[in-house]
Amino acid sequence: MPRYEPLNPQQHGSLRLRPRSNPDPHFVQIVASEFPFAAASSPVVFTKDPEKGSFYAGAVLGFKPTEAALKTRAERGGFEPLNLQREGFFISGENIIIDRDSPRFSESEGEPLFDESQQPSVSLRQMQRLLGQLHAGLEATNAFINVLVELKLIEPLNVSLAFDDGEKLTLQGLYTVSLDALHALDDSSTLRLFRAGHLQLAYLMAGSLHQIRTLAQLRNDRLSRAV
């Protein structure tokens, strides 16, 4: 069970931050500003929040929840999603919340969060910036998604993959931008998308789908090597 506490120097003055240690998951939420970096190595898609049914964007790093990411950070060209970097930290209104039970926090190891005068350390300031980016990024991404929904540009993504060990995987619950619908848009809507920077995001998503095949090939090669 997570133990959430609002971050403050009185309570957390001696707390230290360790590097992330959890393996990268098979899917991670990302924000619009990360699309160019993510799309170079991973499929960028939409999926639905199971509680609200609303769309959010994410990068596919692997094909099964039980398997870790198929590419390392280096193989992704250094792309490390903000949502992974911020492990242990959350935002609630104006405050930063930490999960005190996250393995990132220690009394003895890692970088201090606060200096002697109870001011945020370099590493905490970096985290604050990162959380700010994430927060702003979520708003920008939601604006992008709302426009796509309004213009009926989102379509379900049907992917079936067959692997050499006989396993067939169907990726369910993923959505992408419909290029057919995009290309059928009237001029004023197209211009609106372009001016808002949304057209580029749409094409980045569509183009990133080629990464599905690359990832599948990678997984297949590992399977045959494992035999």
Partner 1 sequence: MVRPVRKIVVVGGGTAGWLTAAVIAAKHRSRIPGQFSVTLVESPNTPTIGVGEGTWPTLRSTLSRIGVSETEFFRQCDVAFKQGARFARWTTGAPDDGYYHPLMYPQNFSQLNLAPHWLVQNNGRSFCDAVSPQGRLCDEGLAPKTIATAEYDAVANYAYHLNAGKFATFMQKHCSEKLGVKHILADVRRANVTEDGDIKSLDTEQAGEIEGDLFVDCTGFKALLIGETLGVPFKGCHDVLFCDTALATQVPYESETSPLATHTISTAQSAGWIWDIGLPTRRGVGYVYSSRHISADDAERELRAYLGPRGKDLPLRKIPIRAGCREMFWKRNCVAVGLSAGFLEPLESSAIVLIEISAKFIAEQMPACREVMDIIASRYNEATHYRWGRIVDFLKLHYVLTQRQDTAFWRDNCDPATIPERLQNLLLLWRYQSPWFHDEFDRIEEVFPAASYQYVLYGMGFRTEVDPSSLAGQEKSAERAMRENLMQTERMRTALPRHRDLIRKIVEHGLQPV
Chain residues in the site for partner 1 (CB under 8 A) = 48-55, 149, 152, 154-156, 173, 175
Per the DSSP assignment, residues forming a β-bridge with 89 are 98
- CB-CB contact of 194 with 202 (8 Å): no
Angle at 47 between CA 101 and CA 67, to 5 degrees: 55
* Nearest distance from C-beta of residue 202 to partner 1, angstroms: 15
| Residues 6 or more apart in contact with residue 124 via CB below 8 angstroms | 17, 113, 114
Give the nearer residue to partner 1 in terms of CB position, either 42 or 47: 47
Kindly tell me the burial class for residue 74, based on how many C-beta atoms sit within 10 Å of its own C-beta (0-12, 13-18, 19 or more).
Answer: exposed
* Nearest distance from C-beta of residue 9 to partner 1, angstroms: 38
**Three-state secondary-structure class, residue 97:** strand
Give the nearer residue to partner 1 in terms of CB position, either 98 or 148: 148
* Nearest distance from C-beta of residue 139 to partner 1, angstroms: 18
Give the nearer residue to partner 1 in terms of CB position, either 82 or 182: 182
| Alpha-helical runs (H) found in the chain | 9-12, 35-39, 82-85, 122-150, 179-183, 187-195, 198-208, 210-226
Residue type (1 letter), 189: S
Give the nearer residue to partner 1 in terms of CB position, either 32 or 153: 153
* Nearest distance from C-beta of residue 161 to partner 1, angstroms: 22
* Nearest distance from C-beta of residue 22 to partner 1, angstroms: 26
Give the nearer residue to partner 1 in terms of CB position, either 96 or 174: 174
- CB-CB contact of 81 with 28 (8 Å): yes
